[in-house]
Each structure stands twice: as structure tokens, then as C-alpha cells.
Amino acid sequence: MGEKRLIGVCGIICSECGAYLATKNNDEAIRQKTAAEWSKMFGAEIPPESIACVGCITPQGTHFQHCAECDLRACAQKKGAANCGRCPDYPCQKITRFFKMLPAAKAVLDAEHEAISGAS
């Protein structure tokens, strides 16, 4: 049986993310590949040594540098929501703006929201 799917606050699937996989498996090849991809994608120099993360919803441990400044993560922590889809205010303006950058995250969070809406 595979690892449980770890969903980040914003709908990114942490358990499929290069930073998470590089950290979990201590895999330098994944770290190098992810750094190159993200540097190109975000138009910034992202060094391989910064590619380390235990998943944004995990409170302790190493997180990617953006986690410390992520408004979505801070908001979810403040509200006690596992992710934005499990927040009673979903979808809000913050997450709707994020979906413009990563549309696939919307489907993940919509499913999370449906899980709690259907349960109530």
C-alpha cells in the first residue's frame, strides 16, 4: 500500500512535490531537477540546497523557503483548517487568485470542500 496523499494548504499535493520527495528520500537527483525546473518556472534562481520540505501542513521540520511567508498557509493555521478546501470561507479571494497560477489545485480543494460539505 502506498503512502497517504498529503495535500498542502493551497491544494498542491505535497506527497508528489519534488521538494517533499527529495527530502523524504534524501535524493540529490530529485533535488537538482526540482531546483532547475522551479528556477525556470518562477524566473528566479532557486538553489538545490533550498529544495527541502516535509510538507506545508507538517508544523515541525524543514519547509521550503516560501512556506514562512505564505499567506495561505498562515491563514489556514490561524483558522485551524487542514487546507483551504476545509475552511468554512472556501473559496476566498486569496485562494481564487492562487488558482490563476495553479488551476489543478482547484480540483483538489473542491474535492476537499465537498468532503466536508457532504458530511454536514
Q: Residue 3: its pLDDT value, please?
A: 67
Is residue 87 assigned to a domain?
yes
Q: Residue 1: its pLDDT value, please?
A: 47
Q: Residue 120: its pLDDT value, please?
A: 53
What is the number of structural domains in the chain? Answer: 1
Is residue 23 assigned to a domain?
yes
Each of the 120 residues of the chain gets a pLDDT tens digit; together they read 456 889 999 999 999 999 999 999 999 999 999 999 999 988 889 999 999 999 988 888 898 888 888 999 999 999 999 999 999 999 999 999 999 988 999 999 999 999 888 755
Residue 23 lies in domain: 14-119
Is residue 22 assigned to a domain?
yes
Is residue 32 assigned to a domain?
yes
Q: Residue 2: its pLDDT value, please?
A: 58
Is residue 3 assigned to a domain?
no
Is residue 68 assigned to a domain?
yes
Is residue 8 assigned to a domain?
no
Is residue 66 assigned to a domain?
yes
Cβ–Cβ contacts within 10 Å for residue 77, how many? 14
Own/partner pairs for 90-98, CB < 8 Å, 24+ apart?
A: 95/10, 95/11, 98/10, 98/11, 98/72
